[in-house]
Amino acid sequence: MKPDLAQAMPTAWPGGKGSPPRLRGVEAVIFDMDGLLLNTEILARRALQLAGADLGLELTDAFFALLIGVPADGNRRLLFEHYGSAAPADALFAAAARHQRTLIDSGEMQLKPGVLELLDQLDQAGLPHGVATSSGRDKALHHLQRAGIAERFQAIVTRDEVARGKPHPDLFLRAAQALGMAPGSCIALEDSYNGVRAAHAAAMPVIMVPDLLPPNDEMMGKCVTIVSDLHAVSAMLAMHSGVAKFAADTSPHGKSAASYIAAQP
């Protein structure tokens, strides 16, 4: 069942109370994958904690929050920083991958609310769209294919194709290039802090759709707006008959983020 868009949408926007952000010139949309298209962040957290239990490590939700939006090499560094250089990184992450694959293959992976509606809307509008994910290519393709949406994207760029992962801009720059677009003519959809930072560093307007990480002051400053789910992004598009002009003013955006926070239970 779709959520009530009136509740999902912020009640105030950067352009003024009751009006949407100024949108102009965007010709493509670039999606994150984990936590934005798919509920795989929460599955990854459960899998990592199961793997930790296998190895006698207690991995907290707070520690996992540090890993969100960080590529595998960064996750290893964070593990060593918090659990010492003797932490069994190879065994831990291999076990976590097995647990996550089991969870996914048992049917627990789901599309996030509004994914199919937004993809249909972009197709109807003729706006190209791609994925820029910190996951490796094999994992990304497995997840997207299993979810039935891999063929919906004109470009899928993974950590394997770039020198640096998020929060560096490389993934978003490569995705824009793959779509044949300038970065500033794309809009990014992200759920993580590092993903928002990466899109912002690429000079790409970004909308945050929070998953496990709540928006903070930094995100308010870097995002065009912050919304509850992808239904809200669809509603933003629907408010603009010239969908090809969907783009964002990059001025400070605290009002919309504050409205998101205020709307949360």
**25 pLDDT exceeds 60?**
yes
32 given a catalytic annotation: yes
Average per-residue pLDDT for the chain: 84
Has 105 been annotated as catalytic? Answer: no
Q: Are 6 and 106 in contact, with CB atoms under 8 Å apart? A: no
For residue 131, give Cα distances in angstroms to 36, 81, 123, 150: 10, 30, 15, 9
Task: Please give the average per-residue pLDDT across 178-192, as a whole number.
Answer: 96
Q: Is the pLDDT of residue 257 over 50?
A: no
Domain boundary, last residue among 74, 90, 105: 105
Same domain, 198 and 160: yes
pLDDT of residue 260: 42
Looking at residue 122, its amino acid is: L
pLDDT of residue 69: 86
| pTM confidence score | 0.83
From the list 32, 170, 191, 211, the catalytic residue is: 32
- Residue 33 and residue 64 in one domain: no
Domain boundary among 85, 105, 125: 105
Residues 231-258 have a mean pLDDT of 55
Domain residue limits at 79: 40-105
Residue in 171, 174, 220 with CA at minimum distance from that of residue 193: 220
pLDDT above 90 for 196: yes
Checking if the pLDDT of 5 tops 60, the result is no
- For residues 198 and 131, membership in a common domain is answered with yes
Do 115 and 185 lie in one domain? The reply is yes
**pLDDT over 80 (residue 44):** yes
Give me the number of domains the chain comprises: 2
The model's pLDDT over 70-111, given as tens digits with 9 standing for 90+, comes to: 888 889 999 999 999 999 999 999 999 999 999 999 999 999
The three-class DSSP label of residue 100 is: helix
Tell me, what's the pLDDT at 21? 53
pLDDT of amino acid 72: 84
29 with 76, same domain?
Answer: no
